[in-house]
Chain A
Amino acid sequence: MNAAIISTNYPYIVAIILFCLGCLCILTQHNLIKKVIGINIMQTGIFLFFIAVGNIKGGIAPIYDPSLPGDILYINPLPSGLMLTGIVVSFSVTAFALVTIVKLYHYYGTIYAPDIMRMR
C-alpha cells in the first residue's frame, strides 16, 4: 500500500469512506431525518464506486460523434446506466422513508428516536 496506489485509486477510497460514514450515520444518529440522510450518503458512496469502476482516464462521454477521430477512448457507459437505476431506487426508498417519518411525526409529535421509544 504505497502512496502511488492510493493517489491513483483515490475514488475507491473516498467511496469506502462515504459508505462507512453512511452506515455509521444510519446506526448511530437519533434523528430520523439524519438516518435517511445516512442512507443517501451510503448509496452515494456506492454510486461513486460504480462510476469509478467504469471510468477510463482520458476517456470522453460515450456519445458517437462523426467529427471525432476514430481512435478516441470512450468510458464504459454500463456502470453509469446501472447507477441511473440505483439512483431511482434510492429516490423511491427515500420518498417512502420520508412519508413514514411524516406519519410518525403525526402520531408522536417528534422525530427523535429515543423520545419515540419512550412514548411507546
Chain B
Amino acid sequence: MEDYITRTIFRYVLLFVLVYGVYIVFHGHLSPGGGFAGGVVMGMGMILYFLIFGLGKGKYRRLPMDAAIIVIGIGGFLEGIKFLLPHEHGPVGLPGTLFSVGIISVVNLGIGLLVASTVLSVFYLLVGEA
C-alpha cells in the first residue's frame, strides 16, 4: 500500500504498541493483563506492519512465518518451566513491585512471545491462503 499517511503514522505508533505490549506482559501480576493480553497487543503491532508494508517478496515472504514458529518453540519452553520446576519460585522481591514474583515473570514472557507469534502465524496462514 502506497499510502504516505499510514506509513508515517505507523512509524510513530509501532514503538508504542510494542512497548505497551511488553508493559502488559511484565505487569501481569500487578494489574489485569498478563501474557495473553500483552502477547495479543504485540502480535497486533506486527500484523499492522504487514498490513501497511505488505508481505515480503520472494524468499523473504516466508521468513516471518519461520521466525514465528521458532519463537513459538522458545515461548513454549519458557512456559513449560512451571511444569519442569513445580515448586521452584525463583528470587522474590518486595510484594507489589515489578520484579517480585521470580519465575512467573519468565513464564509470562514465554506466554507473551508464544501468543504474539501465534497471532502472527495465523495471520500469515490466512493471507497465504488468499
Contact of B129 among A64, A84, A88, A99 (CB under 8 A): A99
**Residue from B30, B36, B130 in contact with A102 in the complex, judged by beta carbons closer than 8 Å:** B130
**CA–CA, A103 to B130, complex, Å?**
8
CB within 8 Å for A61 and B32 given contacts A66-B95, A67-B96, A99-B125 = yes
| Chain B residues touching A, majority SS | loop
In the complex, the number of residue pairs spanning A and B with C-beta atoms less than 8 Å apart equals 27
Q: How large is the interface on B (under 10, 10 to 19, 20 to 34, 35 or more residues)?
A: 10 to 19
B129/A103 in contact, CB under 8 A: yes
By beta carbon, the residue of chain A nearest B122 is A95
Any chain B CB within 8 A of the CB of A65?
A: yes
Q: Name B's A-contacting residues (CB within 8 A).
A: 29-32, 36, 95-96, 122, 125-126, 129-130
Q: Which residues of A are at the interface with B, using a C-beta cutoff of 8 A?
A: 61, 63-67, 84, 87-88, 95, 98-99, 102-103, 106
